[in-house]
Amino acid sequence: MKNTKIQIRLPEDLRHAAVQQAGLAGVSLNLFVATAVAARVGAQAEAARYFAARSLRTTPARAKAILMRFGSAELPRDDDRL
């Protein structure tokens, strides 16, 4: 695996918090950021795998039937609007 050098821009407060957390974990800022990116990429890949597998277990008609069963034709209440 080849490492690639990148440059990122972070707000100063976020950079400061990351430096502190990396220090508490006893790792470099570089390793801290690389680990955070790897965790996010892994989570996205796992979510995509999960939903792809789930989609194979149903049909659009069954999914629509479930949504219609739990949906509501009522308008949102006034306190539930954006």
**Confidence band, pLDDT 50/70/90 cuts, at residue 30:** very high
User: What pLDDT score was predicted for residue 17?
Assistant: 97
**pLDDT per residue over 4-14, tens digit each?**
999 999 999 99
How confident is residue 67, by pLDDT bands cut at 50, 70 and 90? Answer: confident
Mean pLDDT of 15-21: 97
pTM to 2 decimal places: 0.64
User: CA 76, CA 82: separation in Å to the nearest integer?
Assistant: 10
Q: Tell me, what DSSP letter sits at residue 2?
A: -
Backbone angles phi, psi at 57, to 5 degrees: -95, 5
Q: Give start and end residues of each alpha helix (H) in the chain.
A: 12-25, 29-55, 60-70
